[in-house]
């Protein structure tokens, strides 16, 4: 999964072959600088100052943005910093001699650190990637990790660099360890983690996704339990799937989360990665929206010459809900590729996480709240129900019951209640639906329609089966269990 190659969308018109673009880009923009000068500067660096309060923002849930500042020209000022808990700036490229190629835009990193810390965001830097100048970066990782002297030089160099730029940690993007390099990968993680922890810094890693929740392929099975436990969190790269027409389907993320849960990794350490680009076209999310704003609500566009399979807002929202139920965060790659208006994926993710975070009460945790949450999405817009509105729930028979008034008012119905007959009447566009508490049918324009359960009163609010609330007015209801979302359309 070529993370560095996501910059292809930036310069795709300049290159005839997308697979060589990154090679040319790095060759032009990066200066091959030895590490020695960086280490010398670090001796006069200021003490490390961490961003405060990032995890408290969402009760421990992480919202991580991958920001390839060296590949894109998106200004730091355009980032929606209050949404994030972490931003990962990419990329430092390891060299075979234990040094690394420093960032092409160090001033941009300094600006990100300053503004990110002011907003309570932790700033990490990504180390590695997939290829550089046509060569797999993993080759240099393996050479360094196999030599104790090179490994010491490399890890200490990263610590010095972190202190110089006042960052909060690193994301290790070793793509990917093998069974042969498994032990040296573990040693690298443990040594780097120990050095960073001593300075109050963190360490995450980006790892591949999997379709098998029990037996992951070599790229992740080679990551030892000791290495995984040492990391503060792992970013699951649940995109670029080769075995499905869609490169980032929701089931891929779900199975990848399950794999790490089955291995015993704490859910709060698992961060579900989501893309903001399409394949095989490599078009960015913002470019697809520029073609048609309705593309924000789709997962496929028949672009030419190559099609675009991607994640629109509904899928990104549902993946976020899935992660809030089962994992510990979401990661977005790459935040440069978002829009700046109401179709913004980052803004939607921030709203989703924020709305559910608000529901966490005393003695509750976020996953518990999210496990019990059911979201109604009406004509592509989420309906966030408050305690006063009443919230949907699943009864003992497994039926989804929803409060009547607010959802019907949302579609434009006028709702009244007759306390004597305990009957609710809803009127919309000449259609009249009547519901009586305790009866297992309803009236639609005088026609009796059976329901699979009776209308009930809960804490002073009338609840009906989900489909019964809307089908009386000709609406269609689709249910997705991944995010526990009901999609309501007409």
pLDDT in tens, 344-384: 999 999 999 999 999 998 888 899 999 999 999 999 999 99
The answer to whether 69 touches 91, Cβ cutoff 8 Å, is no
Counted domains in the chain: 2
* 273 lies in the same domain as 397: no
pLDDT, average across residues 92-102: 95
User: Do 198 and 315 belong together in one domain?
Assistant: yes
Q: Is there a single domain that holds both residue 360 and residue 450? A: no
Identify the CATH number of the domain in which residue 452 sits: 3.30.457.10
Pairing status of strand 233-237 against strand 202-208: parallel
CA distances, 372 to each of 242, 380, 464, 490 (Å): 34, 21, 17, 27
Domain C-terminal end among 371, 405, 432: 371
Over residues 416-436, the mean pLDDT reads 95
Q: Does one domain contain both 162 and 216?
A: yes
Tell me how far apart the alpha carbons of residues 446 and 427 are, in angstroms, rounded to a whole number: 13
Q: Are residues 343 and 454 in the same domain?
A: no
C-alpha distances (whole Å) from 352 to each of 310, 321, 347, 406, 464 are 20, 8, 9, 19, 25
Q: Which residue has the tokens 């670090």?
A: 42
Do 214 and 104 share a structural domain?
A: yes
Q: Which of 371, 398, 422 is the last residue of a domain?
A: 371
Average pLDDT, rounded, for the chain:
89
Write out pLDDT tens, residues 190-242.
999 999 999 999 999 999 999 999 988 999 999 999 999 999 999 999 999 98
291 in the same domain as 423: no
Tell me: do 87 and 13 sit in the same domain: yes
Residues 291 and 436 in one domain: no
Q: Do 124 and 264 fall into the same domain? A: yes
Q: What is the mean pLDDT of residues 236-254?
A: 93
- Residue-level pLDDT at 39: 38
Write out pLDDT tens, residues 385-404.
988 899 999 998 889 999 99
Same-domain check for residues 281 and 417: no
Element containing residue 320 per DSSP (H, E): helix 313-326
Distance set, CA 190 to CA 137, 144, 167, 194, 342 (Å): 20, 14, 19, 6, 43
Give the domain extent around 476.
377-489
pTM, full prediction: 0.89
Q: What is the CATH number of the domain that holds 168?
A: 3.20.20.80
454 or 14: which leads in pLDDT: 454
End of a domain among 371, 393, 408?
371
Q: Phi/psi at 12 (nearest 5 deg)?
A: -65, -30
What pLDDT band is residue 25 in, cutting at 50, 70 and 90?
very low
Say if residue 296 is in the same domain as residue 413.
Answer: no
């Amino acid at each position: 999964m070529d993370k560095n190659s996501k910059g292809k969308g930036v310069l795709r018109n300049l290159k005839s072959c997308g697979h060589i673009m990154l090679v040319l880009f790095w060759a032009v923009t990066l200066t091959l600088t030895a590490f020695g000068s960086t280490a010398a500067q670090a001796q006069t660096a200021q003490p490390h100052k961490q961003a405060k309060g990032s995890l408290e923002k969402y009760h421990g849930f992480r919202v991580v943005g991958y920001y390839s500042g060296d590949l894109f020209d998106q200004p730091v000022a355009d980032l929606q910093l209050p949404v994030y808990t972490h931003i990962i700036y990419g990329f430092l490229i390891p060299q075979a001699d234990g040094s690394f190629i420093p960032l092409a835009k160090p001033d941009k990193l300094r600006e990100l650190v300053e503004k990110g810390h002011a907003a309570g965001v932790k700033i990490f830097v990504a180390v590695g990637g997939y290829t550089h100048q046509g060569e797999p970066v993993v080759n240099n990782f393996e050479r360094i990790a196999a030599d104790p002297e090179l490994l010491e030089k490399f890890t200490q160099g990263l610590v010095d660099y972190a202190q110089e730029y006042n960052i909060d940690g690193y994301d290790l993007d070793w793509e990917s360890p093998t069974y042969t390099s498994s032990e040296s990968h573990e040693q690298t993680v443990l040594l780097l983690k120990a050095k960073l922890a001593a300075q109050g810094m963190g360490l995450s890693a980006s790892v591949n996704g999997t379709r098998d929740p029990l037996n992951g392929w070599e790229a992740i099975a080679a990551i030892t339990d000791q290495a995984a436990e040492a990391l503060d969190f792992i970013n699951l790269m649940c995109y670029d799937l080769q075995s499905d027409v869609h490169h980032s389907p929701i089931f891929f993320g779900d199975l990848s989360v399950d794999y790490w849960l089955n291995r015993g990794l704490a859910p709060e350490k698992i961060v579900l990665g989501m893309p903001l680009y399409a394949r095989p076209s490599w078009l960015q999310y913002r470019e697809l929206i520029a073609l048609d704003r309705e593309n924000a609500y789709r997962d496929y566009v028949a672009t030419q010459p190559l099609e675009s399979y991607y994640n629109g807002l509904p899928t990104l929202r549902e993946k976020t809900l899935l992660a809030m139920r089962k994992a510990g965060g979401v990661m977005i790659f790459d935040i440069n590729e978002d829009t700046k208006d109401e179709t913004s994926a980052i803004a939607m993710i921030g709203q989703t996480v924020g709305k559910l975070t608000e529901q966490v009460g005393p003695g509750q945790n976020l996953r518990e709240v999210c496990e019990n949450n059911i979201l109604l999405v009406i004509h592509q817009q989420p309906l966030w129900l408050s305690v006063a509105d009443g919230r949907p729930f699943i009864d003992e028979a497994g039926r989804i019951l929803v409060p009547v008034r607010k959802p019907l008012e949302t579609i434009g119905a006028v709702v009244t209640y007759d306390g004597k007959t305990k009957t609710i009447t809803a009127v919309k566009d000449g259609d009249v639906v009547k519901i009586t508490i305790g009866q297992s049918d309803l009236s639609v324009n005088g026609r009796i329609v059976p329901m699979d359960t009776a209308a009930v009163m809960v804490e002073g609010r009338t609840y009906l089966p989900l489909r019964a609330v809307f089908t009386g007015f000709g609406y269609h209801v689709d249910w997705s269990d991944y995010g526990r979302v009901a999609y309501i359309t007409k």
